């Protein structure tokens, strides 16, 4: 199992901090502290933050070992040729360390507005994402592409340079709806949900595996943690963080997203049942305004305990 952290790009914008240097410094510190990956979220307008692929390209130039991923990229907002080009370049800079976590967004008026601003068809976002993934893989071969699809048409399109790794970066699909599960199983390289409980996750993963029909897929997990010996303070911090981040009541958010608070031992114990389901890559978001304190506690206390849970 690998363990990564989400860069606080949304949190920085909420705080009015538009200097990218702290984000890149955190990526370097994560690598030095033993994290296996560094991730960046995505949103154009609904939840403003740094553009993830641009930021990850800079992080790639300042790191050597950690994988770099999007958690998750709203792929249907992009033109597939432009996305394939950007992703190939980032993967070249990173030496093959890029992972494309993708999704099409939960139904939400703000997200719908975001799609409209990008001139992307919100009603057909799932179909656009599926076709986009196919086009990217074709272009990453470096050969002329002829494509007559529902949403895009390409004639003699050759993309260079190709990604560093043959076939290009893997696609991991997030989301828990039937369409997301179907796309993850049939078209993706991995599944990347953020369920609230292992009981929620187990049937989702089973459905994805059935859709995959025997294909090998990576199971990843994205959760929010607040490591603090004072559990009441940790709970208060994560509730305030989540409500400010999403602009929605914590009670509703906690029913569908994994949020774990308390001591490192308590957080590790809460995550153990997820890992028992076969999670191969765990991505942690720090649910606190004090990201520096969380980094110290997670790196120093939680990481060693999570490593103990890794299969021998």
Report the pLDDT value the prediction gives residue 107, as an integer from 0 to 100: 87
Cβ proximity of 101 and 71 under 8 Å: yes
pLDDT per residue as tens digits for the range 261-298:
999 999 999 999 999 999 999 999 999 999 999 999 99
Report the pLDDT value the prediction gives residue 106, as an integer from 0 to 100: 86
Over residues 158-170, the mean pLDDT reads 97
pLDDT per residue as tens digits for the range 75-133:
999 999 999 999 999 999 999 999 999 999 988 899 999 999 999 999 999 999 999 99
Report the pLDDT value the prediction gives residue 67, as an integer from 0 to 100: 98
Directed axis angle between helix 125-139 and helix 178-187, to 10°? 10
Q: Which of 102, 101, 123, 103 is nearest to 112 (CA)?
A: 123
Q: Which of 87, 10, 35, 53 is nearest to 282 (CA)?
A: 35
Over residues 237-247, the mean pLDDT reads 97
Taking all residues of the chain, what is their mean pLDDT, rounded to a whole number?
97
pLDDT tier at 310 (50, 70, 90 boundaries)?
low
CA pair distance 257, 272, nearest whole angstrom: 16
Burial class (CB in 10 A: 0-12, 13-18, 19+), 225: buried
Predicted TM-score (pTM) of the model is: 0.97
Q: Write the CA distances from 249 to 182, 226, 238, 287, integer angstroms.
A: 30, 18, 12, 15
Over residues 257-261, the mean pLDDT reads 98
Cβ proximity of 134 and 52 under 8 Å: no
Residue 311 has pLDDT above 60, yes or no: no
Report the pLDDT value the prediction gives residue 312, as an integer from 0 to 100: 46
Topology adopted by domain 2-308: TIM Barrel (3.20.20)
Token duo for residue 66 = 């950690």
């Amino acid at each position: 199992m690998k363990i990564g952290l989400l860069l606080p790009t949304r949190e920085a914008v909420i705080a009015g901090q538009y200097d990218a240097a702290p984000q890149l410094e955190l990526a370097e510190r994560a690598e030095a502290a033993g994290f296996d990956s560094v991730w960046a979220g995505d949103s154009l307008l609904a939840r403003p933050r740094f553009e993830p692929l641009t930021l990850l390209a800079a992080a790639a130039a300042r790191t050597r070992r950690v994988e770099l991923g999007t958690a998750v990229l709203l792929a249907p907002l992009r033109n597939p040729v432009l996305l394939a080009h950007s992703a190939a370049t980032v993967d070249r800079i990173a030496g093959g360390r890029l992972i494309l976590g993708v999704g099409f967004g939960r139904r939400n008026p703000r997200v719908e507005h975001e799609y409209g601003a990008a001139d992307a068809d919100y009603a057909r976002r799932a179909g656009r994402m599926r076709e986009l993934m196919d086009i990217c893989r074709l272009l990453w071969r470096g050969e002329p592409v002829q494509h007559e699809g529902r949403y895009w048409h390409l004639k003699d399109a050759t993309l260079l340079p190709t990604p560093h790794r043959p076939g290009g970066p893997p696609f991991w699909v997030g989301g828990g709806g039937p369409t997301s599960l179907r796309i993850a199983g049939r078209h993706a390289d991995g599944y990347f949900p953020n369920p609230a409980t292992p009981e929620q996750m187990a049937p989702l993963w089973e459905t994805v595996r059935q859709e995959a029909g025997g294909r090998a897929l990576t199971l990843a997990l994205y959760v929010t943690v607040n490591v603090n010996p004072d559990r009441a303070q940790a709970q208060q911090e994560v509730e305030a963080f989540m409500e400010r981040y999403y602009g929605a009541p914590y009670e509703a958010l906690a029913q569908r997203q994994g949020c774990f608070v308390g001591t490192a031992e308590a957080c590790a114990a809460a995550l153990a049942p997820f890992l028992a389901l076969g999670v191969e890559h765990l991505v942690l978001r720090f649910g606190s305004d004090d990201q520096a304190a969380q980094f110290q506690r997670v790196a120093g206390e939680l990481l060693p305990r999570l490593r103990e849970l890794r299969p021998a």
